Chains A and B, each alone.
Chain A
Amino acid sequence: MTDTIKSEPFVLNIGPQHPSTHGVFRIKATVDGEKVIDAEMVMGYLHRSMEKLAEERTYVQNIPFTDRTDYLSSMSNNLGYCLAVEKLAGIDVPDRGNAIRVIMAEFQRLASHCMAVGAFTNDTGAWQTPVMWCFREREKILDLFEMTCGARLTCNYMRIGGVAFDLPASFVPAARKLVQTLPGFIDEMESLLVANEIFIVRTRGVGVLTPEMATNASLSGPMLRGSGIAWDLRKADSYCGYDKYDFEIPIGYRGDSYDRFLVRLEEMRQSVKIIKQALDGLPGGPHSTQVPLALRPPKGEAYARVEGPRGELGYYVVSDEGPSPHRFHIRPPSFINLSALKEMTVGGSVADAIVVLGSIDIVVGEIDR
């Protein structure tokens, strides 16, 4: 019976306007029946040419641009850019500035992973309830950001040499209160999803990446750790004094979508752990060093990277001693994490392609810049 039914490959357009593509991102999937036999990515719908714009503006003026690349983790983007300029100009950051940066970066990771986990469960079919739970917790973190810098998404809080202003007096008690409640939320999410049979069937063995593939395709962050490579820049290249904090690098061992989900959940716990330590050991002193507004770093180049929520977030800045960078390049983790999308989706079903895309956790503002 089956060999008498003929099917012809046809092109199925997923996106660009579709909730499962997490933004304006398009996959041209060639399907044979339900099976994906080819996948081509189409992107650039949100391209704003930030790298060109940055060449016209001063080093300080470029910080708000970094908010708008990965708008779900603006603090991490600020941090990466500021580290690159500090490396280029040889600026040291005071201890309090570093501690505040760590607190903010980890809260940002929590907020971003809340979004990643929630949207991923949405893609697997747990329609709206988990994502709303995640949003509820994320809102509390964004409230802390609003308390500190007045903005919820595009924070523009980090400055070259430290942070824009010191923490308000009410921040530390509010943050302590929040980190007390967050582990309970993570446990609750875990108890609902990790052993959920439907969730496991949808994600286990979907989009498997071997460690060799993950390395060769330049993946980073939870994608790499989900495949079993314990590489975390906070441990490997301890910027901002991350070596002072005690935390673990969670890794998966199957490299599938389920493992990437588990890695993100466990990273949230580790972030809570780091924030607790940072709040306890928050040093006094200045929050920032004085840096001239019209900064002219010496001729040269610097590549600095941080472990963003999506992976290695690098900034490559070239100076020609001018007031604005000669070249400003962002190494966007979600753009490069898409390198392996075709390998992960081909051979699976169309529904699996959506799950794989959700497990990559893309932000289109960062892909297109």
Chain B
Amino acid sequence: MAVTREWSGHDVAAAVEAAVPGAVAKADAVACFLKPEHLVEAMQALRTGPETDFVHLTNLCGVDYWDHFEVVYHIQSFVRNQICTVKVECWDRETPVVPSVVPVWHGAWMQECEAYDLFGIRFEGHPNLHRILLWDGFPGWPLRKDFLSMPGGLQPGLNEFAGTARREAPPVRPVE
């Protein structure tokens, strides 16, 4: 029975550290967190390394954790049948910027556009970052947690949202 091997974050961190020293911010059981300044270099190393061989960027998405954003990359290898999770944290909520991985995987092109469209995360170095699903000039970034709640919050009219029916932060803040 063939099962895809899921690398733990610590394994990925060890592989990245061997190729690009100082690129790992932290690691847990699920994911390896990379430093944004070394992201492209470390991803390139993961893609081309013979042990890692993560040639296929499967999934790229943003997640909002109220006080920071994460960009999640799921990358996999066909030959070695393995997948791993790499993340980048972005603590600047006003102007979140993360380097683009389009130079490493062309498949990141549209997924980064989508993350920009829905979270407002700028991917620096992306060749053509634009709003891909929503129209230019859409107010706000809908998948952010502080964007208004949907039920009853949306008023007729395309260009404005009535009131300030914004979500409140959760009672328990995430522990860092």
Residue B19 CB within 8 A of the other chain: no
CA distance in complex: A282, B119 (Å):
45
Q: Is B158 an interface residue (CB 8 A)?
A: no
- B40 within 8 Å of A (CB atoms): no
The residue from A215, A303, A318, A336 contacting B55, defined by CB atoms under 8 A apart = A215
With contacts A43-B133, A318-B63 taken as known, whether A219 is within 8 angstroms of B107 at the C-beta atoms is yes
Q: Is A243 an interface residue (CB 8 A)?
A: yes
Are B59 and A314 within 8 A (Cβ)?
Answer: yes
CB-defined interface of A45-79 with B at 8 Å, one 1/0 digit per residue?
Answer: 00101011100100000000000000000000000
Given A316-B72, A336-B110, check contact A235 B133 (CB 8 Å): no
Indicate if the CB atoms of B1 and A243 lie closer than 8 Å: yes
Please measure, in the bound complex, the distance between the C-alpha atom of A320 and the C-alpha atom of B175, giving whole angstroms.
Answer: 12
Q: Tell me if A123 counts as interface (CB < 8 A to partner B).
A: no
Q: Known contacts A44-B133, A318-B63, A368-B133; is A303 also within 8 Å of B4 by CB?
A: no
Question: With A56-B149, A229-B78 in contact, do A243 and B132 touch (Cβ < 8 Å)?
Answer: no
Per-residue interface assignment for chain B, residues 8 to 48, with 1 indicating a CB less than 8 Å from any chain A CB and 0 otherwise:
00000000000000000000001000000000000000000
- Main secondary structure on chain B at its contact with chain A? loop
Are the CB atoms of A49 and B58 closer together than 8 Å? no
Q: Are B55 and A238 in contact (CB under 8 A)?
A: no
CB of B68 within 8 A of chain A?
A: no
B107 — nearest CB in chain A belongs to which residue? Answer: A218
A-B contact count (CB 8 A): 99
A218 engages B3 (CB within 8 Å): no
Are A314 and B2 interface neighbours, CB within 8 A? Answer: no
Q: Which residues of A contact B56 (CB under 8 A)?
A: 215, 218
Interface string of B147-162 (1 = CB under 8 A from A): 1011100000000000
A238 with B2: CB separation less than 8 A: yes
Q: Does B57 contact A (CB under 8 A)?
A: yes
Q: Tell me which residues across on chain B come within 8 A of A35, comparing CB atoms.
A: none
> Given A218-B58, A303-B59, A312-B58, does the pair A236, B4 have CB atoms closer than 8 Å?
yes
Taken together as a complex, chains A and B put the C-alpha atoms of A297 and B59 apart, in Å, by 22
> In the complex the two chains form, is A218's CB within 8 Å of B1's CB?
no
In contact, B3 and A238 (Cβ under 8 angstroms): yes
Instruction: Give CA–CA (A47, B114) in the complex, Å.
Output: 12
Q: CB < 8 Å: which of B59, B78, B133 contacts A215?
A: B78
Which residue of B is nearest A340, CB measured?
B106
- Is B90 interfacial (CB 8 A cutoff)? no
B64 interface hit (Cβ, 8 Å): yes
Query: Does B142 belong to the interface (CB within 8 Å)?
Result: yes
Task: Give residues 163-182 of A contacting B (CB, 8 Å).
Answer: none
A352 at the interface (CB under 8 A from B): no
Q: Is the CB of B64 within 8 A of A305?
A: no
Option from A216, A327, A329 in Cβ contact (under 8 Å) with B59 = A329
In the complex formed, the residue of B with least CB distance to A216 is: B106
One of B59, B81, B109 near A331 (C-beta < 8 A): B59
Inter-chain contacts of A53 with B (CB < 8 A) = 150
The interface size bin for chain B is 35 or more
Which residues on B sit within 8 Å (CB–CB) of A338? 110
A231 within 8 A of B: yes
Contacts of A145 in B (CB 8 A): none
Residue in A47, A237, A301, A318 whose CB lies within 8 Å of B4? A237
CB distance from B73 to the nearest CB of A (A): 11
A contact residues around B111 at 8 Å (CB): 218, 336
- Is B143 an interface position by the 8 A CB rule? yes
B-side contacts of A51, CB under 8 Å: 118, 143
Q: B7 within 8 Å of A by Cβ?
A: no
Q: Chain A residues near B118: list those with CB within 8 A.
A: 51
The answer to whether B78 touches A52 (Cβ under 8 A) is no
Q: Are B85 and A303 in contact (CB under 8 A)?
A: yes
CB-based nearest A residue for B85:
A303
A354 at the interface (CB under 8 A from B): no
B143 and A231 contact, CB distance less than 8 A: no
The reply on A19 being an interface residue by CB < 8 A is no
**Residue A335 lies at the interface, judged by CB distance under 8 Å to chain B:** yes
A:342-369 near B, CB below 8 Å: 368-369
List CB contacts (< 8 Å) of B91-122 with chain A: 105-111, 114, 118
**By the criterion CB–CB under 8 Å, are A47 and B107 in contact?**
no
B81's nearest neighbour on chain A, judged by CB, is A236
Are A237 and B110 CB-contacts (below 8 A) given A303-B59, A331-B59?
Answer: no
Residues of B whose CB lies within 8 Å of any CB of A are 1-4, 30, 55-59, 61, 63-64, 72, 74, 78, 81, 85, 105-111, 114, 118, 132-135, 142-143, 147, 149-151, 170
Q: Could you list 12 A-B pairs, sorted by A, with CB under 8 Å?
A: A51-B118, A213-B106, A216-B106, A218-B111, A229-B78, A236-B2, A300-B30, A303-B59, A314-B58, A327-B64, A329-B63, A339-B109
**Nearest 8 CB-CB pairings of A with B:** A218-B107, A44-B133, A237-B4, A243-B1, A329-B61, A331-B59, A47-B133, A217-B106
